[in-house]
Amino acid sequence: MAEREVLDLDVLFVGAGPASLAGAIHLKRLLHESGQEASVAVLEKASEVGAHSLSGAIVDPRSLRELFPNYNDADFPFEAEVTEEHLYYLTATKKIPFPFVPPPMSHHNCFVTSLGKLTRWLGGICEDEGVDIFCGFAGTELLYDGDQVIGVRTGDRGIDKNGEKKTQFEPGADIHAKVIILGEGTRGSLTKKLINQHELMQGRNSQVWAVGVKELWRMPTGTVPPGYVTHTMGFPLGHDIFGGAFLYGMQNDIWDLGLVVGLDYKNPAVDSHHELQRLKNHPWIRSLLSAGQMIAYGAKSLPEGGWYSIPKLSVGGAMLIGDSAGFMNGQRLKGIHLAMKSGMLAAETTAEALSAGNFTETQLADYESRVESSWIRSELWKVRNFHQGFDRGLLGGLTNAGMGLLTGGRGWGFKNRLSAKAGHKKMEKDVEKDRYKDLEFDGTYLFDKVTDVYYSATAHEENQVPHLHIRDRDVCTTKCAEEYGNPCVKFCPADVYEMVPDGDDQRLQINFSNCVHCKTCDIMDPYQIIDWVPPEGGDGPVWVNL
């Protein structure tokens, strides 16, 4: 029988996103400066760094400048500096410009960026600094000694769809480390376990997420100005669904068109993919894209809750960074600089812990203090009630945001803290079922989900246990079908969930190989019975430029 391999390290980052990669680089340099030797590794579920990285993205370069003080902005792998910026309110047929972009929403001095390119670049620097990056391995369990986290177990390989071992079965490895830093991105599966096990959300607002869906369009030469930025409100989401669209000009005549949809809507028929297709039906967007060709598709959730939804950040032996911890400025629609800074602060805490030989909860609590006294706190404090204001719709949310600007972040009624209810609890049973009745997928401009999934290049070994675990399938065919009309079929942007005939009834079919790892189902299921767990390491999307 194959033996489980055991690997002993000093520090393990889980997830090769910007938070972990910046943290690993910073840690290696700190150790070098203080003359300490320590093994530092990054565990990544994708087949290569960047393959699961997706964001808008416009990057505030603040953390990059801190991490690379000797570099110029031109040395970073940005697409272009923001040169032209617009904010529009869209009706179904018109676009109405805001007279100016409010300064807190301005992207002046920021850069249009492909997160995949940025993480690949950071990954290369990690390797130059001596960090080991293990791609194609997903962490599936946290290892404990009492209450102290002491490692991560990676997933077994070679289990068939019935749960039986195949001939090429290999048990996952146990990676032991003095410090585990979870930077898995949004709704990480280990992060979810850590938060639940240690009750890290106690006293916090519920986290509230959104999902971003996007397509890249290659356009005729000379038609896309790199650095062009537009954000919109209104159509197609209307006033009752939080979110809006973005359109960014990238290099090589590529438009980056996306839509952010708050995962706290009431109507269970809402479908973020279909909303993006509706957006493309707007005459202005059609006039921009119709001469082009769609070349890539992806989706990812993002934490919108803000400062009050950030969990307790450390336990004995482990810390949370980046999107795993909820470091996102919803008002600026920016988290990459916050993610990187959080990784760097966790690195500073780790360097001191290694020097002291102390990895207890008390020692690692220093990370939370560092966050509290950093610019992360001052940036997020000013917008601490931003998302909660949209409980009253678009106009209520904008008014609340304006009040926040005048009061240093207070919300409605000058309250210091507005509460937030988990998004899935807001779903209502009366549905507007025909929201997409006019949407016709022509396969050349408007795409159905399966076609879009093809452009995400996602792939999973078919003969494995599906990585979407439903704790009680009876709920799907009874309560959920009756009460909400199976919203998983709608909210999954990759057509993973399908209700298919089964005799006189219906049953849930899970097309797990379509999954683009956005985590929307784990977040938005009204009964909270879906657990997204990592598939076999290396499986999933293969994004290049998203």
Name which of 133 and 515 has its Cβ closer to ligand SF4: 515
Peptide bond into 236 cis (omega under 30): yes
Q: Report d(CA 27, CA 42) in Å as an integer.
A: 12
- Closer Cβ to ligand SF4, 186 or 232, answer by number: 186
244 token code pair: 């809006």
Tell me the closest approach of the beta carbon of residue 447 to ligand SF4, in angstroms: 15
The residue assigned the tokens 């008390």 is 362
**Residues 133, 15: contact at Cβ < 8 Å?**
no
Shortest reach from residue 537's CB to ligand SF4, in Å: 16
Q: Is 328 helix (H, G, I), strand (E, B) or coil?
A: coil
**CB of 265 or CB of 359, closer to ligand SF4:** 265
Q: Give the interface with ligand SF4 as residue ranges (CB under 6 A).
A: 468, 492-494, 496, 515-521, 532
What minimum distance in Å lies between the beta carbon of 495 and ligand SF4? Answer: 8
The least CB distance from residue 458 to ligand SF4, in Å, is: 8
Q: How far is the CB of 332 from ligand SF4 (least distance, A)?
A: 25
The length of the chain is 546
CA distance 112 to 114: 7
Residue among 366 and 539 whose Cβ is closer to ligand SF4: 539
Question: What is the CB neighbour count within 10 angstroms for residue 85?
Answer: 18
Is the four-CA dihedral 379, 383, 387, 393 of positive or negative sign?
negative
Contact 57, 114 (CB under 8 A): yes
Please state the closest distance from residue 193 (CB atom) to ligand SF4, in A.
Answer: 17
Note if the bond before 325 is cis, omega within 30 degrees: no
Q: Which is nearer to ligand SF4, 433 or 469 (CB)?
A: 469
Q: For ligand SF4, which is the closer residue by CB, 337 or 519?
A: 519
Closer residue to ligand SF4 (CB): 273 or 384? 273
Q: Which residues contact 279 (CB under 8 A, 6 or more apart)?
A: 235, 236, 245, 257, 259, 285
CB of 494 to ligand SF4, least distance (A): 4
Q: Is the dihedral of CA 368, 146, 196, 52 positive or negative?
A: positive
Task: Return the ∠ at Cα 467 (arms to 191 and 338), rounded to 5°.
Answer: 30
